[in-house]
Amino acid sequence: MFSRITGIGSFLPGPPVSNDDLASRGIDTSDEWIVSRTGIKSRHLAANGESASDLALEASRRALLAAGLDAADLDLIIVATSTPDFIFPSTACLLQGKLGNRGATAFDIQAVCSGFVYGLTVAEKFIRSGSHRRALVVGAEVFSRILDWSDRGTCVLFGDGAGAVVLEASDKPGILATALHADGAHHGILSVPGSICGGKVTGDPFLRMDGQAVFKFAVRVLAEVADECCRAAGIAPSEIDWLIPHQANVRILEATAKRVKMPMDKVVVTVDRHGNTSAASVPLALDEAVRDGRIKAGQKIMLEGVGGGFTWGAVLLEL
């Protein structure tokens, strides 16, 4: 038994927020400063009261429509998020209720920016085992809720959004290879080092990052895991038609492409318009490239994620 993606959908909340918009809100930054360092020109920010499950719902409806399925057809729902609606229940269960599905397995995955790749890999294992046949895998984030808006080194980098895919059992291979890794020794270079105790926040509730350390680590492991996936599938990296890495920074995308010897015109880039949407970034980029016709049936696509933990992984697939 194999698994294939049969539907993709995405959702971005509200109008684009430009770099100039951020500067006009009192943030000590400029369009030139942000673009020159990150390539980011705009991002989308969720409205007050708009949660990760709300964004996930819109992306999921579009993915189900593309797959020609109803929510009742699903027997597995996985949501990758670092910004859940509640401590519990899971965002996946909240999404399940909003979709009107009853009885499917539903749970969250927390692997930060690698979350969607982790979720897709886990769903593929469920389907290959024969226990489940139709899975909804979602990456949904409202990172604007955990940003320190006085820290211009981090707050300008992130945005909110959601992307979803429907993965179904198939006699024809779709997911060709997967690889997941983590190394908790590097947790200190990217984290939100806070928690709730006794009804109060303890520690620091905002995202903190050592940008240079993250850059070096991300480029190295993204290149390594892409090569690992290609070896597992028995193909050369040159046979990859499209590379869709986690959308964190244009410089990271360029450095990763160079390491895997991939021309930038074969790398899907959305970070310039979306910012870093963490677990949502890979499915957002995949959906855009499929809908605009760049990605075609039968092509080989490498999805990659790297995020706090540190976690990283890749999925090689054909649509």
Query: Is 113 among the catalytic positions?
Result: yes
Of the candidates 113, 155, 229, 230, the residue annotated as catalytic is 113
39 phi and psi angles, rounded to 5 deg: 85, 0
Say if CB 301 and CB 286 are below 8 A apart: yes
Name which of 274, 296, 283 is nearest 166 in CA terms.
Answer: 283
How much of the chain is in helix, strand and coil states, percent to nearest 5? Answer: 40, 25, 30
Measured CA to CA in angstroms, residue 8 lies from 21, 29, 157 at distances of: 31, 35, 25
Looking at the chain, which runs of residues are DSSP E strands? 2-11, 17-18, 42-43, 76-80, 105-109, 134-142, 160-170, 175-182, 190-191, 194-197, 200-203, 208-209, 242-244, 300-307, 311-318
Q: Which of 278, 266, 315 is nearest to 145 (CA)?
A: 278
- Those residues with Cβ within 8 angstroms of residue 47's Cβ, 6 or more apart along the chain or in another chain: 13, 14
State the catalytic residue, choosing from 19, 246, 249, 274.
246
- Residue ranges of alpha helices (H) inside 31-90 are 31-38, 52-67
Q: What is the DSSP string of 135-183?
A: EEEEEEEEGGGG--TT-HHHHTTB-EEEEEEEEEEESS--EEEEEEEE-
Does residue 89 have a cis peptide bond before it, meaning omega lies within 30 degrees of 0?
A: yes
Distance CA 278, CA 125 (A): 23
Give the Cβ contact number of residue 4 at 10 Å. Answer: 19
Residues with a known catalytic role: 113, 246, 276
